[in-house]
Chain A
Amino acid sequence: MNCQDLIQELSNFIDGELDAASKQELESHLKECTECKLVVDQTKKTVRLFCDSEPIELPGEVRNRLHNALRRKFKEAAH
């Protein structure tokens, strides 16, 4: 496996979707290639920063507007 091959398989690797043989090949390359190791680690960190995020609180006026619209919808449905 060379560096280009690794990049093509990067998502499959960090998503745990590689078969055992490909995973082993990729991990062997990582042991020898500092640059690819940096790419893998930094890409994982990038994803982690985003996926670890929590949704914000919905602003009060937005929430009120949403729930008022829903209640109008419920009334329409009831008639």
Chain B
Amino acid sequence: MLCANLKTETFGAGLLFSPRNFLSTPNPHRLASAVAREDEHLLVAAAKSGDATAFEELVSRYERKIFRLTMNITRNREDAEDAMQDAFLKSYSHLKTFQGDSRFYTWLVRIAANEALMRLRKRRPGQFSLDEPIEGDEDLMPRELQDWGPGPEQRFAQTEMREILSSVIDELEPDYRTVFVLRDIEELSTEETADALGISVPAVKSRLLRSRLKLRQKLDRYFKQGATN
């Protein structure tokens, strides 16, 4: 997983929130993901056998991440709240069908992504489709590259950085943004992302590459040496 790989490198900054900002700074009270994973299956088993408290614990554990996901896909507060709530209600209704082939969280992300995409399509009918053909072998080589200097994350205050990241992800087309969010923010595998979105693995890879390059290019406006902060 890329995120895990990159954590060994010395780089980082907190991200976004205002009504437009949906990512935030590191939370010292966050449950370590390894710990969360260890007992997740126990909570799921208890919830499946009718323990509502166990299900509510799962919701409390993942509600912020699912809200971030639905916000990042819909980019609309009202839609994101509704998509998040419906995702949890549906996951409860269908909990008995969860076979445990994947992590519960991955299953939940898939439900939430579909809820968010449904609302995005309603709000922007005909404007995007994940089934659209992938671009061919166009020239993807970035032009006029400029150094970002020793550390753009040190040149911007946290709130400023949040605004920048929110702004650039907002500019990304929904089909690219959705793939990027699932792969690089929610850390689903390529196969899980393809499965969640009902598209092929090559389509995920192609959109992920393009979304990463597009975001790099958009960040270049802010981070290149001599850019007006």
Contacts and interface: CB of A to CB of B under 8 A. Distances in A.
B154 interface: no
> How would you classify the secondary structure of chain B's contact residues: helix, strand, loop or mixed?
helix
A75 B15 CA distance: 38
A51 B3 contact: yes
Nearest to A41: B148
Nearest to B27: A54
B23 A15 contact: no
Interface of A: 3-4, 7-8, 10-12, 14-16, 35, 38-39, 42-58, 62-63, 65-67, 69-71, 73-74, 77
Contact of A66 (B1, B85, B184): B85
B85 A47 contact: no
14 contacts: A11-B205, A14-B5, A45-B11, A49-B13, A50-B184, A51-B185, A52-B3, A52-B26, A53-B14, A54-B23, A55-B67, A62-B67, A65-B81, A73-B93
B139 A56 contact: no
Contact of A70 (B89, B184, B209): B89
Contact of A4 (B2, B89, B139, B223): B139
A42 B85 CA distance: 36
Contacts, number: 162
Interface of B: 1-3, 5-7, 9, 11-17, 21-27, 30, 52, 55-56, 59, 63-65, 67-68, 81, 84-85, 88-89, 92-93, 139-142, 145-148, 152-153, 161, 165, 169, 180, 184-185, 187, 205, 208-209, 212-213, 215-216, 219-220, 223
A49 B14 CA distance: 7
Contacts of B146: 38
Contacts of B92: 70, 73-74, 77
